[in-house]
């Protein structure tokens, strides 16, 4: 007959093992703040999120920081304690290697497969992590805490001291050239309401019809990028050929506008600058910019139409190239008639002439 004590110990062993799930570097749909979510522990009594915050970051963990079922959105589970910092305190990461901390929350139901993380009042614009995968997939490892020795064990593929993550080398951002940016990033991107938000070009980002010229580019992950521009930073949090998650002050989920649009008949013809000096002739394929009325300008500039983007309200963006540089014009209706303006000069209005 088997030893009853042995059977009891074995049952407790498996019960504890099943109750503890550890996920290293969980998959998610984008993080809106300069940190890495390195690990999640799920038990019957608590949920623990491990973070590594980027050097040079000032931040607060507000007391209404929470996690929530990403699919059901039923009940927020608020942070209960923190290790590595104090909740509601001002923090500044002055360590060049970053700052490690972990946040504790109530337990998540076993039926939940994806969670969202959210903060408000953090000093930033609602820091969040969307759609964190905590399902039973290949991106987690079960660890047996009942049989765990006093010292941290070596797990295949992961370094020691997993509790503090002091040995984990989080990839630093890597400066890249423009040619290293995926070509699938370029093009016209709309929001869910079909409003044209941005046109990303090989020379600049046209965002809300303002030009942001590239200064530095960094690769921050497998498919994530930081673009430093003349008007602030843009972060590509995720992207495919058809979908782009972009952060510029706030997170935007965008879809590609890949239509091939033609120049409307109303826009073809001759246009005159409000000051009466500059002229433009628009055809099916070109903007002919005639600035010869300005001293020392002797040639008409031929700007080929590279792409046309549009919004649901009828606004059009024209991406142009003169053989050396990109430029952009916007066409929108004021009353019954179109006016056109060049990017960067919202008051330089052109009106059509007969």
297-319 residue pLDDT tens: 888 999 999 999 998 778 999 99
Residue 351: the pLDDT is 95
Task: Return the residue matching tokens 């660890």.
Answer: 143
What does the pLDDT read at residue 82? 93
pTM: 0.54
On whether residue 152 sits in a domain, the answer given is no
Range of the domain at 125: 4-142
Let me know if residue 290 belongs to a domain: yes
The total domain count for the chain is 3
User: Is the residue at 164 inside a domain?
Assistant: no
Give the number of other CB atoms < 10 A from CB of residue 109.
Answer: 10
Look at residue 18 and give its three-state secondary structure.
helix
So what's the pLDDT on residue 23? Answer: 86
Indicate the burial class of 34 (C-beta count within 10 angstroms; 0-12, 13-18, 19 or more). Answer: buried
pLDDT of residue 267: 95
Paired residues of 337 in beta bridges: 334
- pLDDT of amino acid 55: 86
Summarised one tens digit per residue, pLDDT across range 276-290 is: 889 999 999 999 999
Torsion of CA 186, 192, 193, 195, to 10 degrees: -10
Grouping H, G, I as helix, E, B as strand and the rest as coil, residue 12 is helix
Q: Does 239 lie in the same domain as 348? A: no
Tokens standing for residue 118: 């959210």
Strands 286-290 and 279-282: antiparallel
Co-location of 198 and 321 in the same domain: no
Of 88, 122, 142, which one is at a domain's C-terminal end?
142
Contact 231, 210 (CB under 8 A): yes
- Please report whether residue 154 resides in a domain: no
Query: Are 82 and 195 spatial neighbours (Cβ–Cβ below 8 Å)?
Result: no
- CATH code of the domain in which 184 resides: 2.40.128
In a domain, 167, yes or no: no
Regions of the chain short of the pLDDT cut 50? 1, 7-19, 121-124, 137-171
Q: Which two tokens stand for residue 199?
A: 């046109």
Spatial distance between the Cα atoms of 117 and 211, rounded to a whole number of angstroms: 33
What CA–CA distances, in Å, run from 286 to 78, 267, 281, 325?
57, 12, 8, 14
């Amino acid at each position: 007959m088997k030893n009853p004590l042995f059977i009891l110990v074995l049952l407790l062993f498996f019960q504890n093992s099943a109750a503890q799930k550890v996920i290293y570097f969980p998959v998610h749909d984008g993080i809106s703040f300069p940190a890495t979510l390195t690990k999640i522990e799920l038990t019957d009594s608590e949920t623990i999120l491990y973070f590594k915050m980027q050097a040079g970051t000032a931040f607060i963990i507000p007391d209404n920081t929470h996690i929530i079922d990403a699919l059901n959105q039923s009940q927020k589970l608020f942070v209960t304690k923190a290790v590595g910092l104090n909740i509601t305190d001002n923090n500044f990461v002055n360590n060049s290697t970053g700052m490690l901390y972990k946040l504790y929350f109530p337990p998540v139901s076993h039926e939940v497969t994806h969670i969202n993380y959210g903060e408000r009042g953090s000093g930033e614009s609602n820091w969040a992590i969307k759609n964190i995968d905590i399902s039973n997939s290949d991106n987690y490892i079960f660890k047996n805490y009942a049989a765990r020795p006093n010292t941290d064990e070596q797990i295949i593929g992961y370094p020691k001291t997993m509790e503090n993550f002091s040995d984990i080398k989080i990839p630093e951002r890597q400066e890249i050239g423009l040619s290293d940016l995926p070509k699938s990033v370029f093009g016209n991107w709309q929001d869910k309401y079909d409003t044209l938000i941005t046109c990303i070009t090989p020379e600049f980002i046209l965002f809300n019809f303002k030009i942001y010229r590239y200064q530095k580019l960094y690769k921050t992950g497998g498919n994530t990028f930081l673009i430093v521009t003349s008007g602030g930073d843009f972060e590509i949090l995720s992207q495919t050929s058809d979908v782009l998650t972009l952060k510029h002050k706030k997170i935007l989920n965008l879809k590609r506008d890949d239509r091939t649009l033609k120049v409307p008949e109303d826009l073809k013809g001759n246009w005159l600058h409000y000051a009466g000096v500059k002229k433009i002739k628009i055809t099916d394929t070109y903007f002919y910019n005639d600035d010869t009325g300005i001293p020392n300008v002797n040639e008409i500039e031929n700007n080929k139409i590279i792409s046309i983007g549009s919004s649901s309200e009828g606004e059009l963006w024209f991406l142009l190239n003169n053989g050396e540089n990109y430029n952009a014009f916007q066409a929108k209706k004021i009353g019954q008639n179109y006016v056109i303006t060049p990017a960067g000069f919202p008051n330089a209005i052109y009106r059509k002439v007969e």
